[in-house]
Structure 1
């Protein structure tokens, strides 16, 4: 395929996979259970943070997280006491355990009380065209309160080379327009053109097969390489191609 044919192919696949049917098998269904902006943010953030491994298990454990917060995540974050966190004992998703979950709730409380919420702390600098430094600075704020060293591994840092797949997926959910009913588009201070494709084993392998990614590792340098092509294909909405690459990899075994 030449570049135009490849763009047309990926546009077609993006249009095909970005629809309401996508939600039922994806962790994005968790924030779709809520209507309050802050509930959507917190539910989306926590669900994205545990989004690795088997998708059925991700969804099951994300629902359990919501249940443990009384299905009112924002209210729970703001008004919880340490006693309320006792019920988290026994929660585990792969390497994310109850101690990690407890800290995440404490940190989110700090962010909403002292830093104007998740939308503000993840906002790139005014002239930035990417989220590398925004995510790096977010991590610093997230861990500014006392915490276990082990918990830091659950927030990736692109400045240290990570592709930050889960944070980039969360950003897609919050920032992209909701015209097709999948993403939310509730962060109006952010710009869709600056988003990055959430790079994982599926999207990375498909991108390499299509010749739009040559780097073998799924790291931040690969994100930058992929950005160049995807932003060429659609300068205003490059991350829509996440639907194409993910759909081709997971659903079509391309």
Structure 2
């Protein structure tokens, strides 16, 4: 059984890694940069809702696809969506995004996805998705996410792209794109948006991708081989023990250590000597 490093050894090294990736260069290749380009909170939420759920595949074309999907909404997306009924939004965007595609997603998928945000925002009285996802007293955050996912499965067309957006944490899914959207909305630390106040940061779960899963195993944050919801919860429990008030403080750095190619996946000196995690890393030579 893999032993986890002691918190006294692990936290200062993760803090150094965190500080290492606090620069605009790392953020420029992240879908969060799309939402940050908008000044208004509601505009940032709706654009983040789109960006997070298209965040898969090669980074450069993915960012281009996100911006193209948002282009019909103009510089003030939330105001435009609030001005007309969601059904009209879905019909108009279906026409304007007719030729748009990104991997599993079509323009029609995005039209329905954006209209779903407008419907939920209207139901919450213009407070966006937070009232639909923030846990109340005695509630589990994942129960709220599961309920919303199941609702959207019933209400949205059963296309491949829309079903790809709707994994359920109560079915064992890692829910990477939902977890990333929630991190952006809830955390106030760099680089996140910190727009929501009712959702506790301590309830967030790490957005698990291949990079985070691999590096987490290297340094003992998690031991499972399968990148599923159980591994995401295992890693988050370890991080929560290190930083209970902000367990996802290290997520951006861990992910970008892999995304930017700074972790080669094998222990290689002297290159790896620059990494703050090198003396904890169990990657093979």
Q: Same fold (TM over 0.5)?
A: yes
Q: Secondary structure at the match of 2:216?
A: helix
Which structure 2 residues correspond to residues 43-82 of structure 1 after superposition, within 5 A? Answer: 43-80=47-84, 81=88, 82=91
User: How far has the Cα of 1:139 moved from its partner?
Assistant: 1.1
Answering whether residue 231 of structure 2 is matched by residue 222 of structure 1, we say: yes
Which structure 2 residues correspond to residues 36-47 of structure 1 after superposition, within 5 A? Answer: 36-47=40-51
User: How far has the Cα of 1:84 moved from its partner?
Assistant: 4.6
User: How far has the Cα of 1:197 moved from its partner?
Assistant: 1.2
TM-score of the pair, normalised by structure 2: 0.82
User: How far has the Cα of 1:184 moved from its partner?
Assistant: 1.1
Partner of 2:101: 92
Q: Write the distance in 2 (CA, Å) between the matches of 1:19 and 1:137.
A: 37
Q: Write the distance in 2 (CA, Å) between the matches of 1:77 and 1:141.
A: 21
Which structure 2 residues correspond to residues 135-150 of structure 1 after superposition, within 5 A? Answer: 135-145=145-155, 147-150=157-160
Equivalent of residue 141 in structure 2, options 131, 144, 149? 131
What's the CA shift string for 1:14-48, capped at 9, x where partnerless?
A: 12213443321111111111122111100001000
Q: Write the distance in 2 (CA, Å) between the matches of 1:56 and 1:64.
A: 13
Partner of 2:242: 233
- Number of residue pairs aligned between Structure 1 and Structure 2: 251
What's the CA shift string for 1:64-90, capped at 9, x where partnerless?
A: 112122233213323352235311101
User: How far has the Cα of 1:246 moved from its partner?
Assistant: 1.2
User: How far has the Cα of 1:196 moved from its partner?
Assistant: 1.2
User: How far has the Cα of 1:135 moved from its partner?
Assistant: 1.3
Q: Write the distance in 2 (CA, Å) between the matches of 1:36 and 1:225.
A: 35
Partner of 2:271: none
Q: Write the distance in 2 (CA, Å) between the matches of 1:49 and 1:241.
A: 21
**Gap runs ≥5 in structure 1:** none
Q: Is the 8 A contact 1:31 1:44 kept in 2?
A: yes
Q: In the superposition, relative to structure 1, how do residues 193 and 79 fare at CA in structure 2: closer, same or farther (>3 Å)?
A: same
Q: Write the distance in 2 (CA, Å) between the matches of 1:37 and 1:183.
A: 12
Q: Write the distance in 2 (CA, Å) between the matches of 1:141 and 1:55.
A: 30
Q: Is the 8 A contact 1:197 1:241 kept in 2?
A: no
Q: In the superposition, relative to structure 1, how do residues 104 and 34 fare at CA in structure 2: closer, same or farther (>3 Å)?
A: same
What's the CA shift string for 1:67-123, capped at 9, x where partnerless?
A: 122233213323352235311101111001112111112212211112442111111
Q: Identify which range, 160-169 or 11-20, moves more after superposition.
A: 11-20
Partner of 2:9: 5
Deviating 4+ runs (over 4 angstroms)? none
Answering whether residue 61 of structure 2 is matched by residue 31 of structure 1, we say: no
Q: Identify which range, 208-217 or 105-114, moves more after superposition.
A: 105-114
Equivalent of residue 114 in structure 1, options 120, 123, 145? 123
Q: In the superposition, relative to structure 1, how do residues 84 and 235 fare at CA in structure 2: closer, same or farther (>3 Å)?
A: closer
Q: In the superposition, relative to structure 1, how do residues 219 and 98 fare at CA in structure 2: closer, same or farther (>3 Å)?
A: same
Equivalent of residue 176 in structure 2, options 165, 171, 174? 165
Q: Write the distance in 2 (CA, Å) between the matches of 1:16 and 1:26.
A: 16
Q: Write the distance in 2 (CA, Å) between the matches of 1:104 and 1:214.
A: 35
Q: Identify which range, 116-125 or 157-166, moves more after superposition.
A: 116-125
Q: Write the distance in 1 (CA, Å) between the matches of 2:57 and 2:93.
A: 28
Q: Is the 8 A contact 2:50 2:114 kept in 1?
A: no
CA RMSD of the aligned region, Å? 1.9
Q: Identify which range, 97-106 or 109-118, moves more after superposition.
A: 109-118
